[in-house]
């Protein structure tokens, strides 16, 4: 049967109107993005197993911006998968989550009132719930990039999901969630160092996590301490998120895309930021060439300093900033 690659229109809930990769098959269109490893987007329609049905229909327009239209979450998920693909490909030269050119598929409308999203290596797939009241699907760009980055970590360093390595695994997902969101530069969702600010998971408009000062969420830690391996990995990620913020933007108060940040260091000493692009490159190269399954905070410091030394030289401002940022979260030499 005749098939053609199309560029559909997505009317998303969180990113406005976007272009989506789609495929025309006969007289119908479906959400198969042939330009990005044949990434497919499925509708579970509140089921919790299998793939449900591939989003398809008589036109190449997906969703209407409202959660009540079941295509809308599909459009957001397809856009999130696509922009995450583009980020890893165009910024880091990585083709797909495993680097093998194969797209992961997405499933939306998982269960009823399900307030989470998750990556699974077993299916090489992404799954999104619809949130409380099925009103805020967890399909924002940052959540999509966070979850799919779990797949990148599983394919590279394989950081064990407990103890300090678990915190670094979680931080890796938050770091690239922020990087992808800035990369997308959507008018409706400009980049920020917050995680989950669009999905209102707390019901009061606050984000799930803050990278400039992780303790703002009431549970995450701003700095490393000897017992940090004993807390939930979504909280032990805090110091590494804070390190990434400090390295990107520096310490102190700052406003970016209308969001105000304040990032004090644990040692009270200033950090001069080197910009998000260099910080992201250093973390990506450390993840893919230095870290392993048991990397802890001290080893992450060693690995990132080694990467920065290779990239910029031992006496560079970049190595100094990396070292200062680790000191700023209480990880010393
Ligand atoms: N959404 C959660 C996360 O990615 C799911 C989990 O606990 N792994 O962290
Ligand atoms: Zn996670």
Burial class (CB in 10 A: 0-12, 13-18, 19+), 89: middle
- Span from the CA of 173 to the centroid of ligand 2 (angstroms): 6
Q: What is the pLDDT of residue 313?
A: 98
C-alpha distances out from residue 210 to 159, 218, 219, 257, 259, Å: 22, 10, 11, 15, 11
Percentage of residues in the chain with pLDDT exceeding 70?
Answer: 99
Residues of the chain with CATH 1.10.390.10: 163-327
pLDDT average, residue stretch 12-36: 97
Q: What is the pLDDT of residue 146?
A: 98
Q: What is the pLDDT of residue 2?
A: 64
By annotation, the residues acting in catalysis are 147, 234
What CATH code is assigned to 163-327?
A: 1.10.390.10
- Span from the CA of 117 to the centroid of ligand 1 (angstroms): 7
Percentage of residues in the chain with pLDDT exceeding 90?
Answer: 97
Yes or no: say if 8 and 23 are a contact pair by the CB < 8 Å rule. no
Please list every protein residue whose CB sits less than 6 Å from any atom of ligand 1: 116-118, 146-147, 150, 234
Q: What is the pLDDT of residue 3?
A: 75
pTM: 0.98
Condensed to tens digits (0 to 9), the pLDDT of residues 279-300 reads 999 999 999 999 999 999 999 9
Q: What is the pLDDT of residue 41?
A: 98
Condensed to tens digits (0 to 9), the pLDDT of residues 39-51 reads 999 999 999 999 9
Condensed to tens digits (0 to 9), the pLDDT of residues 204-233 reads 999 999 999 999 999 999 999 999 999 999
Q: What is the pLDDT of residue 1?
A: 55
Phi, psi of 230 (to 5 degrees): -95, -5
Tell which atom from ligand 1 comes closest to the C-alpha of 161.
Answer: 8
Tell which atom from ligand 1 comes closest to the C-alpha of 150.
Answer: 4
Q: What is the pLDDT of residue 128?
A: 98
Phi, psi of 292 (to 5 degrees): -140, -170
Q: What is the pLDDT of residue 4?
A: 79
Residues of the chain with CATH 3.10.170.10: 3-139
Q: Whose CA is nearest to atom 7 of ligand 1?
A: 118
What CATH code is assigned to 3-139?
A: 3.10.170.10
Tell which atom from ligand 1 comes closest to the C-alpha of 173.
Answer: 4
100 CB-near residues (< 8 Å, 6+ apart): none
14 CB-near residues (< 8 Å, 6+ apart): 76, 139, 140, 141, 186, 188, 189, 198, 199
Q: How far, in Å, CA of 70 to CA of 120, rounded?
A: 23
Condensed to tens digits (0 to 9), the pLDDT of residues 104-138 reads 999 999 999 999 999 999 999 999 999 999 999 99
Q: How far, in Å, CA of 156 to CA of 291, rounded?
A: 8
Q: Which ipTM did the prediction report?
A: 0.94
Q: How confident is the model at residue 5 (pLDDT cuts 50, 70, 90)?
A: confident
């Amino acid at each position: 049967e005749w098939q053609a690659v199309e560029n559909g229109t997505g009317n998303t809930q969180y990113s406005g109107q976007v272009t989506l990769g789609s495929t025309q098959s006969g007289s119908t269109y479906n959400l198969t993005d042939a330009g990005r490893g044949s990434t497919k987007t499925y509708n579970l329609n509140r089921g919790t197993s299998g793939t449900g049905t591939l989003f398809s229909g008589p036109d190449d327009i997906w969703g209407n911006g409202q959660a009540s239209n079941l295509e809308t979450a599909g459009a957001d998920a397809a856009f999130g998968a696509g922009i995450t693909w583009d980020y890893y490909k165009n910024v880091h030269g990585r083709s797909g989550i495993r680097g093998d050119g194969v797209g992961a598929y997405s499933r939306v409308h998982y269960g009823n009132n399900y307030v989470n999203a998750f990556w699974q290596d077993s299916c090489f797939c992404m799954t999104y719930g619809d949130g409380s009241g099925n009103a805020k699907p967890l399909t924002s760009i940052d959540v999509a990039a966070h979850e799919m980055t779990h797949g990148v970590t599983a394919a590279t360093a394989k950081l064990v999901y407990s103890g300090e390595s678990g915190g670094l695994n979680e931080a890796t997902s938050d770091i690239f969630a922020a990087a992808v969101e800035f990369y997308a530069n959507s008018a409706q969702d400009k980049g920020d160092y917050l995680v989950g600010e669009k999905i209102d998971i707390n019901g009061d408009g606050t984000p799930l996590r803050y990278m400039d000062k992780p303790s703002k969420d009431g549970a995450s830690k701003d700095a490393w301490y000897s017992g940090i391996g004993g807390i939930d990995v979504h909280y032990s990620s805090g110091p590494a998120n804070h390190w990434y913020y400090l390295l990107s933007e520096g310490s102190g108060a700052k406003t970016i895309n209308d969001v105000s940040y304040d990032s004090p260091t644990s040692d009270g000493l200033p950090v001069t930021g080197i910009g998000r692009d260099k910080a992201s490159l250093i973390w990506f190269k450390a993840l893919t060439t230095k870290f392993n399954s048991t990397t802890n905070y001290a080893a992450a410091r060693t690995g990132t300093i080694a990467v920065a030394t290779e990239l910029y030289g031992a006496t560079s401002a970049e190595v100094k900033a990396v070292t200062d940022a680790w000191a700023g979260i209480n990880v010393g030499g």
